[in-house]
Amino acid sequence: MRSILFLILAGVLSFALVDSALAAEFLSGQEVTIASDETWDGDVYIFAQSATVEGTIKGDLVVYAQRLHISGTVEGGVIAAAQEILLEGTYGRSSRIACQAAKVASGTEMKRDLVAACYSLEIDKGATIDGDLIYAGFQAMLGGTIQEDVWAAVNRAEVSGKIGRELSITTDSNHQQGPPPNQYWQDMKLVVIPMVSPGLTIHEDATIGGKLTYHSPTEVTIDDGAKVTGPIEWIEPEKPAPRDPQDKTDYFWNQLKRYVTLLVMGILMVVCCPATCGGAVDQIVQRPIVSFLAGVLAVPLSIIALGVVAGLILLVPMAFGWLTLDGLAVAGALIAVFGMVLYVGSLGYFFVFGAAAVTSITLGRIVFSDHPITSRGRLILALAFGLVFYVVLTCVPYLHVGVIVVAILFAFGGIFVWMMRGLFGSSAEKAKPAAKTA
């Protein structure tokens, strides 16, 4: 949680630095306290376990801590990320906070806006925000006075204070009441997280001076005595349409057609290149980690080779153009274009069909045989069996992209390792001296 809050803090620091015209002071330690009789003329940056501000800061206050308690005066704005934040005192400019729990206590005066992202936000009666409240979190309890608009996206909220203008809020009441939130964070010391009823509730002493717009699956609860000056607009989320059984049938047939297509294209590769398929599968089964890591290298190399082949379109005609024999330049161009088309087609075929075929054969090989498969028939049998698992795995939501990527890496890596072993293994065998016979 702290790392996330630190990223949020780092993102908003730039706004503070742009407006900063005074000298900045940096304070750090286990506990940092600015006493009530202290006055700091410039901006203050605090990095601590616990931060307490009782005095006066004439500039901005930027804090990253576990606990933050402000009861003094900040003539600038507050930018803070913490686990719990308790705001009292007076604030001259807009404040931006991110935490698990925040409380704006009674008597607090904020001259501008409050922007907050929290699990829980509570604004006590007697607290005043002269600007807007912009809030995103799990729950909110708004009991103070907000002079202008409130824009919020929460799971649940209760309004018992005064909102000067519009209230626009999104709630989700589908979550039932759970255990007290304080059970999740036992080390809370400054803020006690309140229990908030699901949905949106406007209590009898609440006043909304403008329009009430709420997005919610259930209607708002407005107690007798609550005042909503403007119109009330309820926007219900669209309910998902029931799935037509025909859609399930179409999905099944689409996957079946996909299986048949991959099977036919895989059989074509097995028939044309049985040694390559068998060799790649052997390397994946025997050296899975090496094959995977080789795939991480082989995939970008194949893309780089694509650029090399594309360069031949220019280099080959130029090379033949330097000769004086008629027609060689045209022939060179045709050869380069043919080579380009052949390579791009082969690469695209392997990305779309070949990787799935090699991976499926590997799955079938693991099930059917502990020994290398050399015959085309057994390769096709392993392909047909393993392809069932491949298609099923790629139908799983949030998993299909990962399965396809892993299959591509294993397939490219298996072929790359097989080619390297064939190349360097043959050279090593030729270089090895023959054994002498008696």
- What pLDDT is attached to residue 114? 96
- What pLDDT is attached to residue 109? 95
Is the pLDDT confidence value at 2 over 90? no
122: phi then psi, degrees, rounded to nearest 5: -125, 125
* pLDDT tens column, 315-325: 666 565 554 44
Q: Which long-range contacts (CB under 8 A, 24 or more apart) does 336-343 make?
A: 336/312, 337/313, 339/309, 339/312, 340/309, 340/310, 340/312, 340/313, 343/305, 343/306, 343/309
Is the pLDDT confidence value at 260 over 80? yes
- What pLDDT is attached to residue 403? 86
Q: Are 279 and 413 in contact (CB under 8 A)?
A: no
- What pLDDT is attached to residue 437? 42
* Tokens (6 digits) for 17: 């630095």
Question: What amino acid occupies position 180?
Answer: P
Residue ranges of domains in the chain: 2-176+184-235, 245-427
* pLDDT tens column, 25-64: 899 999 999 999 999 999 999 999 999 999 999 999 999 9
Whole-angstrom Cα distance, residue 106 to residue 82? Answer: 21
* pLDDT tens column, 152-205: 999 999 999 999 999 999 998 655 555 555 555 557 788 988 888 888 999 999
- What pLDDT is attached to residue 438? 41
In the chain, pLDDT over 90 holds for what percent of residues? 39
Is the pLDDT confidence value at 9 over 80? no
> Confidence band (pLDDT; 50, 70, 90) for 243?
low
Rg, the chain, Cα only: 34
- What pLDDT is attached to residue 132? 96
- Poorest-pLDDT segment among 183-187, 199-203, 255-259, 267-271: 183-187
Among candidate residues 20, 13, 53, the one with its CA nearest the CA of residue 37: 53
Q: Are 166 and 174 in contact (CB under 8 A)?
A: no
Residue 382, CA atoms < 13 Å, CB-side half-sphere: 30
Whole-angstrom Cα distance, residue 268 to residue 314? Answer: 33
Query: Which pTM does this prediction carry?
Result: 0.54
> Confidence band (pLDDT; 50, 70, 90) for 143?
very high
Among candidate residues 403, 389, 408, 410, the one with its CA nearest the CA of residue 255: 389
Q: Please tell me which residue, 420 or 77, carries the higher pLDDT value.
A: 77
> Confidence band (pLDDT; 50, 70, 90) for 415?
confident
> Confidence band (pLDDT; 50, 70, 90) for 270?
confident
Find residue 62's DSSP bridge partners: 45, 79
* Tokens (6 digits) for 282: 């052997």
- Poorest-pLDDT segment among 78-82, 326-330, 423-427: 326-330
Taking every pair of Cα atoms in the chain, the longest distance, rounded to a whole number of angstroms, is 113
Q: In the predicted model, what is the mean pLDDT of the chain?
A: 81
* pLDDT tens column, 94-138: 999 999 999 999 999 999 999 999 999 999 999 999 999 999 999
- What pLDDT is attached to residue 411? 87
* pLDDT tens column, 275-315: 888 888 888 888 888 888 888 888 888 878 777 766 666 56
- What pLDDT is attached to residue 355? 87
Q: Are 21 and 43 in contact (CB under 8 A)?
A: no
Is the pLDDT confidence value at 390 over 80? yes
Q: Which long-range contacts (CB under 8 A, 24 or more apart) does 29-35 make?
A: 32/65, 34/72
Tell me the three-class secondary structure of 155-194, residue by residue.
CEEEECCEECCCEEEECCCCCCCCCCHHHCCCCCCCCCCC
Q: For residues 71-92, give the mean pLDDT.
A: 94
